[in-house]
Amino acid sequence: MARALIVVDMQLDFCPGGRLAVAGGDEIVAGINDLMADFDAVVLTQDWHPRDHASFADNHPGAAAYSVVDMAYGPQVLWPAHCVIGTEGAGFHPALAADCADLVIRKGFRPQIDSYSAFFENDRRTSTGLAGYLRDRGLDELAFVGLAQDFCVAWSAIDAARLGFRATVIEDAARAIDLDGSLDTARAQMRQAGVVLA
Ligand code: VGL
Ligand code: ZN
């Protein structure tokens, strides 16, 4: 039984002052750093979008940020442009102990598909390769922290549970966007999928 800490999207654009800021996003950095020592492995995810990414409202003339459109793979929230490849906002929060990570997994780099989950892109089929990495290393118990609890953290934890990993979300070390009750919905869906909320 080996345990991995999966640190989701602790990037400047998701912290106060960033382009898709999550309230209190920077408050959890120190706690996440402290948690790292308790795990056999640390994986960071990094939201990593080309400028022409289909999840950006800017790339849909006339569409408002936070509206929902139908993509080939289903409904997609349109976000303000964020985590553009190579920009400062796509970088990790400078206080995050990113040097302690064994693996950094980037997601959302295909222009036409968003990727909330650390395991699958939003078409639910295109794999990021993370499950194979974890299985090869015998990491079967996963704890999720980071941003945002109701999107990337939740989708990652639900996929983990469905893939047969033991999945926990450490809620003290996560913060949510909370769009139209999305945090309550995500918490219910996580419980339903067998994710432990700690
Ligand atoms: C996220 C929206 C768009 C997240 C990423 O990290 O939760 N949310 N891209
Ligand atoms: Zn994104």
Asked if the structure places residue 150 within a domain, the reply is yes
Q: CB atoms < 10 A from the CB of 169, how many?
A: 28
**pLDDT score for 196:** 98
CATH number of residue 46's parent domain: 3.40.50.850
CB-based contact 96:147 (threshold 8 Å): no
Q: Is 15 a catalytic residue?
A: no
The total domain count for the chain is 1
| Helix/strand/coil for 136 | helix
As beta bridge partners, residue 120 has 127
pTM of the model as a whole: 0.98
Asked if the structure places residue 58 within a domain, the reply is no
Query: pLDDT confidence of 32, banded at 50, 70, 90?
Result: very high
Ligand with minimal distance to 177 CA? 1
User: Which tens digit of pLDDT belongs to each residue from 79-114?
Assistant: 999 999 999 999 999 999 999 999 999 999 999 999
Q: Give the Å distances, CA to CA, from 162 to 31, 190, 197.
A: 27, 10, 16
Asked if the structure places residue 145 within a domain, the reply is yes
Token duo for residue 194: 């067998």
User: Which tens digit of pLDDT belongs to each residue from 144-171?
Assistant: 999 999 999 999 999 999 999 999 999 9
Q: Is 47 a catalytic residue?
A: no
Nearest-CA neighbor of 114 among 50, 20, 179?
50
**pLDDT score for 16:** 98
**pLDDT score for 1:** 86
- Identify the active-site residue in 26, 47, 150, 152: 152
Asked if the structure places residue 191 within a domain, the reply is yes
Distance of CA 42 to the CA centre of its chain: 14
Q: Give the Å distances, CA to CA, from 191 to 148, 158, 168.
A: 17, 9, 10
As a whole number of angstroms, the distance between CA 74 and CA 113 comes to 10
Asked if the structure places residue 93 within a domain, the reply is yes
Asked if the structure places residue 66 within a domain, the reply is no
Q: Is 100 a catalytic residue?
A: no
Residue 25 belongs to domain spanning: 2-50+82-197
- Identify the active-site residue in 13, 26, 107, 159: 107
**H helix count then E strand count, the chain:** 4, 8
Predicted-complex ipTM score: 0.98
Asked if the structure places residue 44 within a domain, the reply is yes
Asked if the structure places residue 61 within a domain, the reply is no
